[in-house]
């Protein structure tokens, strides 16, 4: 599988490419299935339909890997929290975790209730071509607990950060609990058939450097080591968004480092390129213009041609990107990296 080979830095006939959030609202075919399902969470819980939207970008866009259609927040949902996706606002939990008492509400066996995810994986693997990889994923414990504590998206992270500086033990207790679920959840995804796993730390940049390593990276590393020991043949991709200034202290037992669009690829290559394959990192808004896309693909190719690389965006694709431009990006990557 070319994608898995690339993750392990083995030679490949061209550089593989996929896009974060590739199964999503920019595709009319996705909107049609979501409409049938009723809403986003119902779609996540319907294995037949979730498998269908997972496979759409393979057929329509031509990417080298499918990413399981689900959401990072199904973990807190199945730990017993009340999750709703509200129009114009995104995810909201009506019952955030803020005290030791609140911790007692959480169920430690969420991975046992995420059966709809494992069913989705089995259906996808039946239908996915043998040369395409399926990526499973989880949120990083830190990103998950910011939602669990804040209850919704936040610009300041003041509620969770107040706890970090005033009640760090409470935050660590929650992180430990979520980390255990995350390990078992990824393990179950692997047993169901995913070929690769990615850990999304979308809110990494909320923390100053020492706190980042203490409250996030160490837990991500713990998850990675656990998976690596049991499943050395499964590549692990770490994607902490926005920590370009912390790269000199990045280490751990994983294979691919996902570079966000705010971190210059040349810098990531200098700091990490001899230890990890790098994934990324076109600024997603370049997809509004074919010229801007071409310029970036060529320059990333120049920078990365003697190093392990997987093409991707530096964060998720946006809902109003023309499908044609997404196709152009993928075919251009294949063309340029094949011919040279």
Please confirm, yes or no, whether 34 is among the known catalytic residues.
Answer: yes
- Cα 215 to chain center, whole Å? 19
Report the distance separating Cα 146 and Cα 173, nearest Å.
14
Report the distance separating Cα 136 and Cα 197, nearest Å.
5
Of residues 142-171, those binding ligand CP3 (CB under 6 A): 153
Q: Which is nearer to ligand CP3, 189 or 202 (CB)?
A: 202
Contacts of 288 (CB under 8 A, 6+ apart): 321, 322, 325
Q: Which is nearer to ligand CP3, 85 or 213 (CB)?
A: 85
The residue annotated as part of the active site, out of 5, 25, 119, 157, is: 25
- Given CA atoms 272, 180, 213, 145 in this order, what sign does their dihedral have? positive
Binding flag, residue 134, ligand CP3 (CB under 6 A): no
Name which position in 17, 51, 55, 73 contacts ligand CP3 (CB under 6 A): 73
Report the distance separating Cα 282 and Cα 293, nearest Å.
8
Name which position in 202, 216, 293, 312 contacts ligand CP3 (CB under 6 A): 202
Please confirm, yes or no, whether 276 is among the known catalytic residues.
Answer: no
Size of the site for ligand CP3 (CB under 6 A): 21
Whole-number minimum distance, CB 137 to ligand CP3, in Å? 5
CA distances, 202 to each of 142, 241, 332 (Å): 9, 5, 27
Report the distance separating Cα 62 and Cα 80, nearest Å.
37
The residue annotated as part of the active site, out of 21, 113, 152, 307, is: 21
Name which position in 4, 12, 17, 22 contacts ligand CP3 (CB under 6 A): 22
Whole-number minimum distance, CB 326 to ligand CP3, in Å? 12
Report the distance separating Cα 257 and Cα 269, nearest Å.
10
Stretch that binds ligand CP3, among 69-77, 124-132, 177-185, 206-214 (CB under 6 A): 69-77
Secondary structure (DSSP) of 119-132: HHHHHHHHHS-TTS
> Between vectors from CA 256 to CA 316 and to CA 321, what angle results, nearest 5°?
15
Report the distance separating Cα 254 and Cα 237, nearest Å.
7
The residue annotated as part of the active site, out of 26, 30, 118, 147, is: 147
Binding flag, residue 200, ligand CP3 (CB under 6 A): yes
Q: Could you tell me if 75 and 181 are in contact, meaning their C-beta atoms sit under 8 angstroms apart?
A: yes
Binding flag, residue 23, ligand CP3 (CB under 6 A): yes
Stretch that binds ligand CP3, among 84-92, 96-104, 244-252, 305-313 (CB under 6 A): 84-92
- Burial (CB count <10 Å: 0-12, 13-18, 19+), residue 130: exposed
Q: Which residue is nearest to ligand CP3 (CB)?
A: 202
Secondary structure (DSSP) of 89-108: TEEEESS---SHHHHTT--T
Binding flag, residue 90, ligand CP3 (CB under 6 A): yes
Please confirm, yes or no, whether 25 is among the known catalytic residues.
Answer: yes
Contact code string over 261-300 relative to ligand CP3, x by CB under 6 A: ----------------------------------------
Binding flag, residue 24, ligand CP3 (CB under 6 A): yes
Name which position in 71, 102, 214, 283 contacts ligand CP3 (CB under 6 A): 71
Report the distance separating Cα 113 and Cα 286, nearest Å.
39
Q: Could you tell me if 279 and 256 are in contact, meaning their C-beta atoms sit under 8 angstroms apart?
A: yes
Binding flag, residue 4, ligand CP3 (CB under 6 A): no
Binding flag, residue 252, ligand CP3 (CB under 6 A): no
The residue annotated as part of the active site, out of 71, 102, 119, 253, is: 71
Binding flag, residue 69, ligand CP3 (CB under 6 A): yes
Whole-number minimum distance, CB 291 to ligand CP3, in Å? 26
In the complex, the residues that contact ligand CP3 under the rule CB under 6 A are 20-25, 34, 40, 67, 69, 71-73, 85, 90-91, 137, 153, 200, 202, 316
For the annotated catalytic residues, the residue numbers are 21, 25, 34, 71, 147
């Amino acid at each position: 599988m070319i994608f898995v080979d690339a993750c392990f830095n083995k030679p490949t006939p061209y550089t593989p490419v996929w896009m974060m959030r590739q199964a999503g609202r920019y595709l009319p075919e996705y909107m049609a299935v979501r409409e049938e399902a009723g809403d986003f969470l119902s779609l996540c819980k319907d294995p037949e339909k979730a498998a269908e939207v997972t496979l759409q970008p393979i057929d329509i866009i031509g990417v080298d890997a499918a990413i399981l259609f689900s959401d990072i927040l199904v973990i807190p949902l199945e730990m017993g929290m009340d999750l709703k996706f509200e129009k114009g606002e995104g995810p909201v939990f009506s019952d955030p975790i803020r005290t030791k008492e609140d911790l007692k509400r959480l169920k430690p066996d969420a991975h046992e209730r995420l059966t709809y995810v494992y069913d989705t994986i089995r259906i996808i693997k039946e239908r996915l071509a043998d040369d395409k990889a399926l990526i499973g994923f989880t949120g990083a414990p830190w990103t998950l607990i910011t939602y669990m504590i804040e209850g919704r998206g936040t610009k300041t992270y003041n509620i969770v950060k107040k706890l970090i500086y005033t009640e760090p033990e409470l935050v660590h207790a929650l992180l430990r609990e979520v980390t255990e679920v995350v390990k078992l959840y990824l393990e179950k995804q692997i047993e169901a058939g995913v070929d690769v796993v990615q850990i999304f730390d979308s809110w990494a940049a909320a923390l100053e450097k020492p706190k980042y390593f203490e409250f996030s990276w160490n837990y991500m590393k713990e998850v990675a080591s656990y998976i690596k020991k049991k499943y050395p043949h499964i590549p692990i991709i770490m994607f902490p968004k926005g920590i370009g200034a912390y790269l000199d202290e990045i280490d751990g037992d994983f294979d691919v480092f996902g570079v966000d669009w705010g971190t210059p690829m040349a810098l990531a290559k200098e700091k990490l390129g001899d230890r990890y394959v790098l994934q990324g990192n076109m600024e997603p808004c370049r997809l509004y213009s074919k010229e801007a896309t071409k310029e970036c693909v060529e320059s990333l190719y120049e920078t990365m041609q003697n190093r392990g690389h997987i093409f991707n965006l530096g964060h998720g694709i946006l809902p109003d990107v023309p499908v044609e431009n997404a196709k152009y990006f993928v075919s251009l990557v294949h063309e340029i990296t094949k011919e040279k």
